[in-house]
């Protein structure tokens, strides 16, 4: 019985860690396809489009202090010159992109 619990627990951990990896990859893929042209691969906003639209770097204090809910709202509804992605991305994709943005802030 103890062996069965250990095996199921190990499998559960492996599945969860694989799920987190796939979520991060999903967010990265969506970011590269929809966001990087303005926000740059590193989130700096250092692209011609990002400079023209005055995209804030993700590591700026104003962006870092935003909650996930606030970032989700910006991606969903847009802000300033940034278009909203409501109806273009699913809620899950938007959450994955926000999670990926958080990883860019740590670099």
**43, exposed or middle or buried, with CB in 10 Å at 0-12, 13-18, 19+?**
buried
Task: Using the predicted structure, report yes or no on whether residue 64 has a pLDDT greater than 70.
Answer: yes
Crossing angle (nearest 10°) for helices 68-77 and 91-105: 120
Name the band, by pLDDT with cuts 50, 70 and 90, for residue 107.
confident
The model's pTM:
0.75
Q: What is the domain partition of the chain in residue ranges?
A: 24-105
Q: How far apart are CA 37 and CA 13, in angstroms?
A: 36
Q: What is the pLDDT of residues 22-43, one digit of tens each?
A: 545 789 999 999 999 999 999 9
Fold (topology level) of 24-105? Cytochrome Bc1 Complex; Chain D, domain 2 (1.10.760)
Average pLDDT value for residue range 7-28? 53
Q: Where are the alpha helices (DSSP H) in 1-107?
A: 2-34, 36-39, 48-53, 61-64, 68-77, 91-105
């Amino acid at each position: 019985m103890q062996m069965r619990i250990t095996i199921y627990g190990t499998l559960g951990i492996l599945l969860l860690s694989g799920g987190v990896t796939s979520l991060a990859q999903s967010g990265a893929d969506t970011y590269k396809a929809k966001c990087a042209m303005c926000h740059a691969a590193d989130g700096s906003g250092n692209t011609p489009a990002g400079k023209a639209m005055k995209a804030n770097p993700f590591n700026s204090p104003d962006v870092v202090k935003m909650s996930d809910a606030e970032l989700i709202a910006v991606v969903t509804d847009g802000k300033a010159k940034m278009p909203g992605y409501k109806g273009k991305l699913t809620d899950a994709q938007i959450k994955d992109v926000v999670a990926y943005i958080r990883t860019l802030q740590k670099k």
